[in-house]
DNA sequence: CCTGGATTTTGATCCAGATCAATTATTAAA
DNA sequence: TTTAATAATTGATCTGGATCAAAATCCAGG
C-alpha cells in the first residue's frame, strides 16, 4: 500500500499518464498543448461531494484523474438510477451536451480529482485540431457502447452473471490503469451496485456470497479478490435470460 | 390515408422536412448546402433488409427518411438485444464511431429510405462548419440520453409502465413528425417490443390487453389508438420498482 | 380459396429475485 | 469506550413475470 501525493505531481495533458485513456488514439504534442491550455484542474472532491446535478447548466466536461465518480439519472418520482461508475481516465458530463443542461448528477464515491474542460472552448479547439475532434466523437461513442453493454447485461443476464460482468469490467479497467486486475476495492456500496445492475442489495450480497462459495472470488468487506478469472468469464457468458427468437430456420 | 411517392420528392437537406429533427438547432442555408453535398440518398430498404451488421466496417452514419429501422446488439452467445427503433429524422450508425467497426446491426422493419453520410467527409465538413459539428455532438448526446431513459424504464418500471412509456414515446415522435399522436401502427412485433423492454412477448401481449381493458388504449392488430393519454402518462410515472434508498432524512 | 407457418392471445404453472425480517459488522459521533 | 446509525449478510416468504401449453388469428404462397 503506497500513497501518491497528487498535489506534487506536475500535471499537464502531455505528461498525464491517463491521456491515452482519455484520448485513446493519441494526439501530437502540440495538439495536446492546445488542449492542455484550456483544461482546469479543480480542487479535489470528497466522498459525497456533488460535481454537478441534474438540471444544472452545462459548461464543462470532466476527465476523472483520481477516485471514483458515480453518475445517476432519476425518474420523475425521484427514483435514482446509476448510469455508471467512472474511474481515472474516463470522461463525464457528456449528458449535458444535448440540451446544454445536465440530465445526470455526478457524485464522488471517494476523494476524487478531475480536470474540467470548458465545452465551448473545447469545441473551438476541436475546429483547429481535427484529430481532437475525432477523439471527442470516439469518447462519446464509447459512452454509447458502454450503455449498450449495460443494457445487454441487465436484460439478458441473471443476477450472478450481472455481478460477474460488473466485477470483470472493473477488473479490466483497473488493469488498464496499471493496478491489480485481481485485487481491488469497491468504492461503491452493495446497494449502489444493485441499483446499477437492476437488483436489490440483498440479491447483490447473496450473489457475491455465492460466487465466493464457488471459489471464484474472495470478499473482504469492500475488497474483492478474483480467484478464478476464467470461471468468472464463463458465468458472464453462460446463463442467459429469456430469448424466444428461435429464428434459426429448420 | 394518403400515400406519398417519395421518388418524386426533390430531396436535399435544405428542403427536407426532417432537417430540424436531424439537426435540432438548425443550420444556415449555405451550411446545409455543404452538408447536402456529401449526403447520399440510398435505394430504399425493404422489410427485413439489413443496412449494416455488427462487425461491419464503419463508413457512414444514416438519417432515417421514411420507415422504421431497428438497431440490435448481441451477447457472445448471439442473444439479441434491441437498442432502439428509429423513425424518420433520427440518426443511426453512431455505434461505429468508437472503434470504426459497427457494434450494432441495423434492420428495416418497414420499407425505409435513408440518407447515408460518409463519416469522414462529415467530420471534414464539421471542421469548416462549427455549428454542424456542435449539432453532431448534440445528436450523439441525444443518443446517450435515449439510452439513459431506456435504462431507467427497464430497471424502475413494471411491465405495464414499460409498455405505457414505450407507446407514449412513439406517440410523441409521431406527433413531431406531423402524424397523429393517438393513432399509429406498430412497425415491430410484440416479440420485438418485448426484447426492447426486457419482457417476453407474452407479457407484452398481456400488458397491452390489460391497458385496453382499462380503456387507456385500443388495439387492432398492429394499430394502436391511445384513448386516455393522461392515464397512460400516469401509469408511466406511478408504480415504480424497488428503490430502497430512503435517504429522506427524518 | 385453401394451406402451413408465423404471430398473437390467453390460461396454468413455476421460479428468480423482490420483499420482509432478524442478526451481525462497520463507522461515526459523543 | 459506549452509543447510535449505516452497511452487509443471511433466512423465510411472496409475487410479477417467465415458462409451458394451447387455441385463435393473420398472411403469404400456391
Chain B span 171-210 residues with beta carbon within 7 Å of strand C? 189-191, 201-202, 204-206, 208-209
Question: What is the rounded distance in angstroms from the CA atom of residue B168 to the CA atom of residue B21?
Answer: 18
Q: Is A198 on the interface with B (CB under 8 A)?
A: yes
Q: What is the mean pLDDT of residues A37-44?
A: 84
Domain(s) labelled CATH 1.10.10.10 in chain A stretch across 157-237
Q: Is the CB of B145 under 7 A from strand C?
A: no
Cell of B238: 406511478
Nearest CA in chain A to B198: A155
**Closest-lying nucleotide for B242 based on CA to C1':** C18
Q: Is the CB of B220 under 7 A from strand C?
A: no
Q: Is A151 on the interface with B (CB under 8 A)?
A: yes
* B216-234 pLDDT per residue, tens: 999 998 999 999 999 999 9
Q: Is the CB of A189 under 7 A from strand D?
A: yes
What distance in Å separates residue B95's CA from the closest CA in chain A? 6
Res B240: pLDDT:
59
Model confidence at B37, pLDDT cuts 50, 70, 90, reads confident
Q: What is the assigned CATH class of domain B12-131?
A: mainly beta
Res B21: pLDDT:
67
Å between A80 CA and C16 C1'?
Answer: 23
C-beta pairs of A43-49 under 8 Å, 24+ apart in sequence: A43/A113, A44/A6, A44/A111, A44/A112, A44/A113, A45/A69, A45/A108, A45/A111, A45/A112, A45/A113, A45/A114, A46/A108, A46/A111, A47/A108, A47/A109, A47/A110, A47/A111, A48/A107, A48/A108, A49/A107, A49/A108
Q: Is A223 on the interface with B (CB under 8 A)?
A: no
Q: Which of strand C's nucleotides are less than 7 A from any protein C-beta?
A: 6-12, 16-21, 26-27
Question: What is the rounded distance in angstroms from the CA atom of residue A245 to the CA atom of residue B60?
Answer: 29
Res B15: pLDDT:
67
Model confidence at B244, pLDDT cuts 50, 70, 90, reads very low
Q: Is the CB of A156 under 7 A from strand C?
A: no
Crossing angle, helix B201-213 and helix B190-197, to 10 degrees?
Answer: 100
* A10-36 pLDDT per residue, tens: 457 776 666 776 776 777 788 888 888
Nearest CA in chain A to B103: A145
Chain B span 78-97 residues with beta carbon within 7 Å of strand C? none
Model confidence at B132, pLDDT cuts 50, 70, 90, reads confident
Residue spans of alpha helices (H) in B73-188: 119-128, 130-156, 159-176
Q: What is the mean pLDDT of residues A88-95?
A: 93
Q: What is the mean pLDDT of residues B33-49?
A: 85
Res B238: pLDDT:
74
A-proximal residues of B, 38-77, CB under 8 Å = 73-77
Q: Is B218 on the interface with A (CB under 8 A)?
A: no
| Dihedral over Cα of A155, A161, A167, A169: its sign | negative
Model confidence at B247, pLDDT cuts 50, 70, 90, reads very low
Q: What is the mean pLDDT of residues A125-144?
A: 90
Least confident of B140-144, B198-202, B243-247: B243-247
- B157-237 CATH fold: Arc Repressor Mutant, subunit A (1.10.10)
Spell out the residues 6+ positions from residue A187 whose beta carbon is closer than 8 angstroms to its own.
A67, A68, A85, A109, A110, A222
Q: What is the mean pLDDT of residues B110-128?
A: 91
Task: Give B96's DSSP letter.
Answer: G
Q: Is B140 on the interface with A (CB under 8 A)?
A: yes
Which protein residue's Cα is closest to nucleotide D7 at C1'?
A189
* B53-95 pLDDT per residue, tens: 999 999 999 999 999 999 999 888 888 999 999 999 999 999 9
Cell of A173: 479497467
Look at residue B246 and tell me whether its pLDDT is greater than 60: no
Model confidence at A40, pLDDT cuts 50, 70, 90, reads confident
Inter-chain CB proximity B95 and A154 less than 8 Å: no
Q: Check if the beta carbon of residue A32 is closer than 8 Å to that of residue A14.
A: yes
Nearest-5° angle of CA B159, CA B163, CA B166?
140
Res A8: pLDDT:
40
Contacts of B97 in chain A (CB under 8 A): 137-138, 140-141
Question: Would you call B226 exposed, middle or buried from its count of C-beta atoms within 10 A (0-12, 13-18, 19+)?
Answer: buried
Q: Which residue in A235, A228, A166 sits closest to A199, CA to CA? A: A166
Å between A91 CA and C20 C1'?
Answer: 40
Q: Check if the beta carbon of residue A211 is closer than 8 Å to that of residue A217.
A: yes
Least confident of A26-35, A224-233, B48-57, B141-150: A26-35
Domain(s) labelled CATH 2.60.120.10 in chain B stretch across 12-131
Look at residue B249 and tell me whether its pLDDT is greater than 70: no
Res B190: pLDDT:
96
Average pLDDT along chain B: 87
* A141-192 pLDDT per residue, tens: 999 999 999 999 999 999 999 999 999 999 999 999 999 999 999 999 999 9
Q: Terminal CA-to-CA distance of chain B, rounded, Å?
A: 58
Least confident of A69-73, B27-31, B75-79, B107-111: B27-31
Domain(s) labelled CATH 2.60.120.10 in chain A stretch across 6-129
Inter-chain CB proximity B98 and A141 less than 8 Å: yes
Q: Is the CB of B44 under 7 A from strand D?
A: no
Q: What percent of chain B has pLDDT over 70?
A: 86
Q: What is the mean pLDDT of residues A69-98?
A: 92
Inter-chain CB proximity B95 and A144 less than 8 Å: yes
Q: What is the mean pLDDT of residues B6-23?
A: 61
Å between B239 CA and C18 C1'?
Answer: 15
Q: Which of strand D's nucleotides are less than 7 A from any protein C-beta?
A: 7-12, 16-21, 26-27
Q: What percent of chain A has pLDDT over 90?
A: 66
A48-69 residues labelled b (16+ CB within 10 A) or e (exposed): eeebbebebebbbbbbbbbbbb
Q: What is the mean pLDDT of residues B170-186?
A: 94
Homologous superfamily, domain A6-129? Jelly Rolls (2.60.120.10)
Amino acid at each position: 500500500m503506497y500513497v501518491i501525493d497528487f498535489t506534487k505531481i506536475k500535471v499537464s495533458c502531455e505528461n498525464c499518464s491517463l491521456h491515452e485513456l482519455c484520448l485513446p488514439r493519441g494526439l501530437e504534442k502540440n495538439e495536446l498543448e492546445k488542449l492542455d491550455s484550456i483544461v482546469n484542474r479543480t480542487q479535489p472532491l470528497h466522498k459525497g461531494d456533488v460535481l454537478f446535478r441534474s438540471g444544472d447548466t452545462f459548461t464543462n466536461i470532466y476527465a476523472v484523474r483520481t477516485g471514483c465518480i458515480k453518475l445517476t439519472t432519476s425518474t420523475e418520482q425521484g427514483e435514482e438510477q446509476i448510469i455508471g461508475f467512472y474511474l481515472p481516465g474516463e470522461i463525464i458530463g457528456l449528458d449535458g451536451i444535448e440540451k446544454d443542461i445536465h440530465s445526470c448528477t455526478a457524485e464522488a464515491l471517494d476523494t476524487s480529482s478531475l480536470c474540467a474542460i470548458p465545452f465551448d472552448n473545447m469545441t473551438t479547439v476541436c475546429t483547429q485540431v481535427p484529430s481532437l475532434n475525432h477523439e471527442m466523437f470516439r469518447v462519446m461513442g464509447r459512452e454509447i457502447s458502454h450503455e449498450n453493454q449495460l443494457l445487454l447485461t441487465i436484460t439478458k443476464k441473471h443476477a450472478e452473471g450481472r455481478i460477474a460482468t460488473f466485477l470483470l469490467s472493473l477488473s479490466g479497467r483497473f488493469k488498464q490503469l496499471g493496478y491489480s486486475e485481481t485485487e481491488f476495492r469497491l468504492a461503491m456500496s452493495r446497494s449502489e451496485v444493485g441499483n446499477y445492475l437492476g437488483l436489490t442489495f440483498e440479491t447483490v450480497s447473496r450473489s457475491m456470497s455465492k460466487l465466493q462459495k464457488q471459489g471464484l472470488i474472495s470478499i473482504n468487506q469492500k475488497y474483492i479478490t478474483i480467484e478464478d478469472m476464467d470461471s468468472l468469464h464463463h458465468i458472464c457468458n453462460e446463463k442467459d435470460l429469456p430469448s424466444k427468437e428461435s429464428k434459426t430456420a429448420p
